[in-house]
Structure 1
Amino acid sequence: MPPRSEAPAVTGAYDRAAGSEAPAAPVEEGGALVHSSLHIMLATVLTGGLGYVFWALAAHRWAAGEVGVGNAAVSLATALSLVVHLGPAALTIERLPRHEGTDGWGARLWTALVLTGAVSAVVAAGAVAVGRGTDAVGPAVDTVTGTVAFVVGCAAWSVMNVLIYTFVSLRRSQLLSTQNVAISLLKLGMLGGLALTAFGGPRSILVAWAASATLGCVATLAWQLPRAGFSPGRPRFVRPGLSGLRSAAGHHLTSAGGVLTPYVLPTLVAALLTPVDNAYFALTWLMGSLFFIVAPAVSSALFAEGARGADLPVATRKAARLIGILLVGPAVLMLVGGRFALSVIGEDYAREGYLLLVVLVVAALPDAVNNVAVGVYRATGRLARSATLNLGMAVVTIVGTVVLAPRVGIVGVGYAWALAQSLGMLASLRDVVRVLRAPASGPVAAQEVS
């Protein structure tokens, strides 16, 4: 485990809003990993399913080229947000538990929220200046409305994800589920309303995405956290220490390698192939990515339990069993029924995307091993190793996509992804097995995972 930081300078109770409810009883340690994992997965499944409806609605309302541009713009804004918020957000899991019940908890949360939101807005504004002249995203951001939606949405996405990590830190992942589903429903409703207008496909998609995230952040800070008894109170800030900056950098690189690639790929596909190809790729990837939610969710819960001093070998064995139970059945079901699921969107989507979907489902096995390894590395403070693993797989995926996609089409992205995950599994399997075989004697020391 990484060393604990010094005690907070200010002590006291949580800021409690008038009329707020008492905090719910914390989840007991024995069931916290399962509880957190299941709620993270539930949130991802529900939002993924609603996302499927969102893009299906867009595909039926607008031409594939317009959907491809809208998807590329949303993916780019999300990728820029990830570049900014991943480190500070993951640091909340490591550091916030040390300040629960003190005024320092709210100060640290406000610091993360304001910094990530402001930096994300600045980065997004720069991206708009460059992207306006491109065919990939230009039609979505070439107006004032599109520009504002892109910048505000990028900042709101960063703030929202810091709040999501905060829920995981608090072992209140049920709040995460509520937040994500509400935002997804709001996004879907907004798109449905815009679909009845002549506003335009790419901008409608971008505005619905940005507005729903913004309203979700406001509702979480003003209502959801206070009613649960965890209001951050008035804005106040702390200066990050050197150890915090180092940890944030390690978590940032780890998370960037793990989650940034799927958001870069749509823009890359649109540039290497066509917006129409990107529409086929994006909706197929959305469906296939349902098999990449189990292991990352369990990995995050494993990291959170490690940050609280849980018995890591026991938690890792529980994580591995949970992944196996939840992954096998849905994978078989998708291999059998995936073509039909794609055909609901359109026969062209089924014809162009089914082979890619099969490759993604098969790649879920090495992806599971790699995510368990990342959870172990983070829990034992081996951030250099977790960052190297994830960044290495990201590089292989992107380079492989550049080489293969122009030759074999969108399935080349799946081949590149599967190759990267397989190489990562070869590099990390030994460490995972070592922890799985370790006796239940408390947290595994960092030097034991080498």
Structure 2
Amino acid sequence: MNSLAVVLASGCTGVLGLAFWAIAARLYPAAEVGVAAAMIFSATMLATLANLSLGAMYERFLPLAGRRAAPLLRRGYLAVVGLALVLACGLIAFGPRAALFHSRWELVTYPAFVAVLALFALLDNTVAGLGVARWGAAKNTVHGAVKLVGILALAGTGSALAITMSWGLTAAVAVIWVMVAIRRRVRYDDRYSAVPSLPPRRELWHYFGASYGISALASVAPLVVPLLVVTRIGPEASAYFAVTWSIVGAFYIVLSLLVSPFVAECAAHPDRIGSLSASFAKMIAAAALLGGLGLAFVAPIALGLIGTDYREAGTPLLHLAAFFMPLTVVGAVYVGLARVHRRLTLAVLTQCLVTVVVIGGTAMTTGTLGVRGVGVSYLVAEALAAVVLIGPLVRWLLELNTNSPARSVRLSTLVGGER
């Protein structure tokens, strides 16, 4: 139920996200769209860094937290907001301020924007850990629809600030709505007054460090790449990239969101890890293959509806993405299983490789290939990651299909924590 809700809502969110950028491209100057896109993408990635991998911790250990759930959530959210504000101010002080901010209001509101997006993202993992991932799916769908109203209402200004405000203010309302629902669930559900069954603190810190390594590394490339695009090939190219990448990014988001309910379900039901893993791998593969077909054949038509210049600039990137999207299956399934088994070292090292290849490749190729260089860089990075992870992943899946009572007991103990 939760996974199906996530898939359907992610599809709706992807369509609504494309509609958002399509409206922006039609009603706002391309240069303003490019600046707004760089602000939104950079804020999203800073928000990911600010999350401190607490999302991975919540989806994995909230099912075991018992009465410690409420204080863990409260302290975590406060830490995330504080770090988001610090990171945003750091970017303003040391980043490409002239390229990102064209007005004082954009600069002043940016830290609050990052903090809101940090909470917005963390809520998806939180509700997955609480067993109600469908709440996050509903949040994302409603936000996707309501921000369309905002961007239409503010179109008369023609400014980048109006685009970011349409995104940020509606996200803030969604955050308040879901946090109220979470507070009620934790307060009144009997599971969150029970005795905790968490693993030892040393193991929690190890998992935290590895998870943060993955999330931090995964957010560096999406933070740096839009900045490279806007500074190396200009704000108009940034607009073409933003609209095109909103389609590609929607499929990445679908895959990442599917991991959360899988990890939470395995933590809550360790005796079903084999069947859950098989279903998870099939669902990830189906989503990625359908995504590749959509990127190859449907997305270019959608870009054409926005504008000829967007289609001409973005279609080569979409075709490259259609090739590398199926390759992401290997990494997504491996990371999901690694979180369940709490063995994340190889996932961290592989993410480091992907980050270096994407950023280095983008820096070297965008000057000559334009936004197509981003697609080439991601294709090489995803292919390398698949080569590194395919062997360990196959061995893991074969082990899960081995019906050994001793293995079942060992996995149940490992996945479920201390009972």
- TM-score band by shorter chain is 0.7 to 0.9
Out of 305, 311, 326, the residue aligned to residue 350 of structure 1 is: 311
User: Is the alpha carbon distance of 1:111 and 1:420 closer, same or farther for their aligned partners in structure 2, counting shifts above 3 Å?
Assistant: same
CA contact (8 A) 1:58 1:201 kept: no
**Shift of the alpha carbon at 1:446?**
12
Q: In structure 2, the residue corresponding to 1:382 is in which secondary structure?
A: coil
Out of 204, 208, 226, the residue aligned to residue 166 of structure 2 is: 208
Q: Distance in 1 between matches of 2:244 and 2:259?
A: 24
Out of 39, 60, 63, the residue aligned to residue 97 of structure 1 is: 63
User: Is the alpha carbon distance of 1:122 and 1:250 closer, same or farther for their aligned partners in structure 2, counting shifts above 3 Å?
Assistant: same
**Shift of the alpha carbon at 1:329?**
3.9
User: Is the alpha carbon distance of 1:323 and 1:87 closer, same or farther for their aligned partners in structure 2, counting shifts above 3 Å?
Assistant: closer
Structure-2 residue corresponding to 1:383: 344
Note if 1:419 corresponds to 2:377: no
Q: Distance in 1 between matches of 2:361 and 2:213?
A: 20
Structure-2 residue corresponding to 1:164: 124
**Shift of the alpha carbon at 1:43?**
2.9
Aligned pair count? 397
**Shift of the alpha carbon at 1:64?**
1.0
**Shift of the alpha carbon at 1:337?**
2.9
Q: Distance in 1 between matches of 2:317 and 2:367?
A: 15
Structure-2 residue corresponding to 1:37: 3
Q: Distance in 1 between matches of 2:135 and 2:97?
A: 40
**Shift of the alpha carbon at 1:178?**
1.4
- What stretches of structure 1 of length at least 5 have no aligned partner? 1-34, 234-239
Structure 1 stretch displaced more, 331-340 or 69-78: 331-340
Letter in 1 for 2:327: P
- 1:300-336 Cα offsets, whole Å, 9 max, x none, are 3332233332543433222222233334345334422
Q: In structure 1, the residue corresponding to 2:42 is in which secondary structure?
A: helix
Structure-2 residue corresponding to 1:182: 142
Out of 133, 138, 141, the residue aligned to residue 101 of structure 2 is: 138
Q: Distance in 2 between matches of 1:429 and 1:338?
A: 29
Q: In structure 2, the residue corresponding to 1:365 is in which secondary structure?
A: coil
- What stretches of structure 2 of length at least 5 have no aligned partner? 190-199, 415-419
Out of 182, 189, 199, the residue aligned to residue 225 of structure 1 is: 182
Structure-2 residue corresponding to 1:369: 330
Letter in 1 for 2:398: R
**Shift of the alpha carbon at 1:129?**
2.9
CA contact (8 A) 2:59 2:126 kept: yes
CA contact (8 A) 1:77 1:154 kept: yes
Out of 79, 86, 93, the residue aligned to residue 115 of structure 1 is: 79
**If each structure's helix is expressed as a fraction of its own residues, which one has the higher value?**
2
Q: Distance in 2 between matches of 1:184 and 1:109?
A: 25
Alignment of 1:3-82 (within 5 A): 35-82=1-48
Q: Distance in 2 between matches of 1:260 and 1:36?
A: 29
Q: Distance in 1 between matches of 2:390 and 2:227?
A: 32
Structure-2 residue corresponding to 1:24: none
Note if 1:402 corresponds to 2:363: yes
**Shift of the alpha carbon at 1:290?**
3.4
CA contact (8 A) 2:237 2:371 kept: yes
Aligned-residue CA RMSD (Å)? 2.5
User: Is the alpha carbon distance of 1:41 and 1:357 closer, same or farther for their aligned partners in structure 2, counting shifts above 3 Å?
Assistant: same
Q: Distance in 1 between matches of 2:228 and 2:271?
A: 41
Out of 393, 404, 411, the residue aligned to residue 432 of structure 1 is: 393
- 1:120-147 Cα offsets, whole Å, 9 max, x none, are 1122122223347422x021xx31x323
User: Is the alpha carbon distance of 1:324 and 1:126 closer, same or farther for their aligned partners in structure 2, counting shifts above 3 Å?
Assistant: closer
Q: TM-score of the superposition, structure 1-length normalised?
A: 0.82
Out of 237, 248, 273, the residue aligned to residue 277 of structure 1 is: 237
User: Is the alpha carbon distance of 1:99 and 1:434 closer, same or farther for their aligned partners in structure 2, counting shifts above 3 Å?
Assistant: same
Q: In structure 1, the residue corresponding to 2:98 is in which secondary structure?
A: coil
User: Is the alpha carbon distance of 1:94 and 1:424 closer, same or farther for their aligned partners in structure 2, counting shifts above 3 Å?
Assistant: same
User: Is the alpha carbon distance of 1:251 and 1:59 closer, same or farther for their aligned partners in structure 2, counting shifts above 3 Å?
Assistant: same
**Shift of the alpha carbon at 1:392?**
1.5
Q: Distance in 2 between matches of 1:183 and 1:43?
A: 11
**Shift of the alpha carbon at 1:425?**
0.5
Among all aligned residue pairs of Structure 1 and Structure 2, give the percentage whose two residues are the same amino acid.
26
Q: Distance in 1 between matches of 2:39 and 2:276?
A: 39
